[in-house]
Amino acid sequence: MSQLKQLNDRIVSRVNANLAEFDFDTEGFVKNSLEHDKMMKFYAFYGITSRHPLYFHFRNSNIAGSYFLGKCYVGRSAIYKSDIRGDELKREGDKIQSATNIPLVEDEMIAIRDSLLYKTLVHSNSHNPESPEEFGIRNTISAHYANIHGSTLEGCFLGPFSTVDLMNLHSCIVGEFSYVQAGELFHRKIDPGTVWIKNPNFEFKYKFRKDILEHFVGVNAKFQPRGMIYDFVKERDQDYEKLFDVMNLEPIEAPATSAVNRYAVIQGKTYIGENVLVSQRAFLHNSVMGDGSNAQENTYIIESTLNGLNITAHGGKIIYADIGVETFVGFNSFLNGKADAMIEIGEGCIVMPHTIINSNVPIRIPDEHLVWGYIGSSSDIEDHTIALDDLAAIRESLTMGKMTFSGMGSVFIEGFRKRLGQILLANGALYNKGEKRGHAQDDQNISFNLIQPYSTGDRKGLYPSIRIKP
């Protein structure tokens, strides 16, 4: 285990050097988070299909519990329980959508170096024109249940339940439960509970009140997570254990056009419709997945109905809710309805990332509304929702409660709708008679292969250097 400890110490020193100006020390988080015994016992696995560019190279790393679906290099890193989704890697000849539409001269690869990703999801929908052939994460530490979605990182720390989306960060700290999509940031510290989306045409910003945020997601003196959302996830951890103890499980009944990952938990009377994608580590209990819906990684859908063409983004949690057709529930949102206080969200709504709805009375959101922030009662709806048409009419600025919006509302709405359409297409939600095939069809026949770490000696807990090619 000595080399595993040296690996972690090296990562801490590299990240601390990048964050020295903030007087921020990551050693306490790493020392109190890493479960070395589990890192040595877990096996890692990778999935392959005929439709993904297979190439993995692992070197001097611990890679417990991950599935790498695409080309990936991992060096001097620990990615404990991470999901590295390479299913949207770009291919040779594809173009980065920028002013110059730069073509790739070779297949894109995920490259993770000198980083610790602790219970973190990485999704490779990259967009960086500076390095179109490589989606890179370097000298970075991420905490519990963070999402790295199409974002290249260098010298950063991501707090628990944070999300970085389609951007580039250099020497930044992202506080717990913050969502950031702001292009490129250098040497910035994002306060906990910040939801910030910015581009040349608009800016959306919201910050949770400290007392509300800490009830749901907080950190202690050792930067370990606590709060209602963390407790919710921890209470269900054991439901995943059997999936990793047994290699062959009975397949989940689903239509031929749908895919249910063998590392998803499906409980009770759960219905899977056509063109549905249920990803790894999704958790479904007594729920309905209407046609074309998807449950992405680390999502929880419990006692709820998704009526069709619904997107539940990574880490989204939906409990006792009825979600209308073509409604999006964003990253790490927590829609916590009750049996006697259901949440009803209408058709065509956009629930912003990191939204919390937790009420003891029924909550109803009309069709075609944007939802954000914290809704704890019916009276909160007024300051935390707006009709999409009303937002589209904004040309300068809008303030509602703690939310501020500036710029072109129509560009914001059109951009969101375009991206949701792209997600539905990529996930196979629109598949029909052989056309518009996506992940729901391509992921039906994933083969999983295991690799294990050294069990004794100085390398105990590290995986051997290994290269896997077609």
3-state DSSP call for residue 299? Answer: coil
Count of beta carbons in the 10 Å neighbourhood of residue 406 = 17
State the pLDDT at residue 296: 95
pTM of the full structure = 0.95
pLDDT tens-digit series, residues 16-62: 999 999 999 999 888 887 776 667 777 788 888 877 778 899 999 98
Share above pLDDT 70 across residues of the chain, in percent, rounded to a whole number: 96
Please give the sequence-ordered ranges of beta strands (E in DSSP) within 234-276, or none if there are none: 259-260, 265-267, 271-272
Distances (CA, A) of 206 to 14, 185, 371, 384: 32, 18, 12, 10
Strand segments (E) across 43-193: 44-48, 55-59, 71-75, 83-85, 109-113, 116-117, 121-123, 134-138, 141-142, 147-149, 152-154, 157-158, 163-165, 168-170, 173-174, 179-181, 184-186, 189-190
Closest CA to 346 of 372, 310, 314, 377: 310
Work out the pLDDT band at 440, boundaries 50, 70, 90.
very high
More confident call, 32 vs 229: 229
18 phi and psi angles, rounded to 5 deg: -70, -25
Residue 321 has pLDDT above 70, yes or no: yes
Q: What are the DSSP calls for 115-153, one per residue?
A: -EESS-EEE-----TTSTTEEEEES-EE-TT-EEES-EE
pLDDT confidence bin for 1, thresholds 50/70/90: low
Q: What is the model's pLDDT at position 248?
A: 63
What value does the mean pLDDT take over residues 170-179? 98
pLDDT of residue 92: 84
- Higher-confidence residue of 424 and 132: namely 424
Q: Could you report the per-residue pLDDT of 330-364, keeping only the tens digit for each? A: 999 999 999 999 999 999 999 999 999 999 999 99
Q: Which pairing describes strands 294-295 and 334-336: parallel, antiparallel, or unpaired?
A: unpaired
pLDDT in tens, 182-207: 999 999 999 999 999 999 999 999 99
Give the pLDDT confidence score for residue 249 in this predicted structure.
66
pLDDT tens, residue by residue, 82-139: 788 877 788 888 877 665 677 888 888 999 999 999 888 898 877 777 778 889 999 9
- Domains of the chain in start order, with CATH, are 2-234+446-468 (2.160.10.10), 241-443 (2.160.10.10)
Mean pLDDT of the chain, nearest integer:
91
Q: Tell me, what's the pLDDT at 355?
A: 98
pLDDT value of residue 448: 82
Find the Cα–Cα–Cα–Cα dihedral 372, 377, 380, 386, rounded to 10°: 50
Token pair 């209308």: residue: 324
What is the pLDDT at residue 86? Answer: 79
Confirm if 76 and 63 have CB atoms less than 8 A apart. no
Residue 246 is predicted with a pLDDT of 64
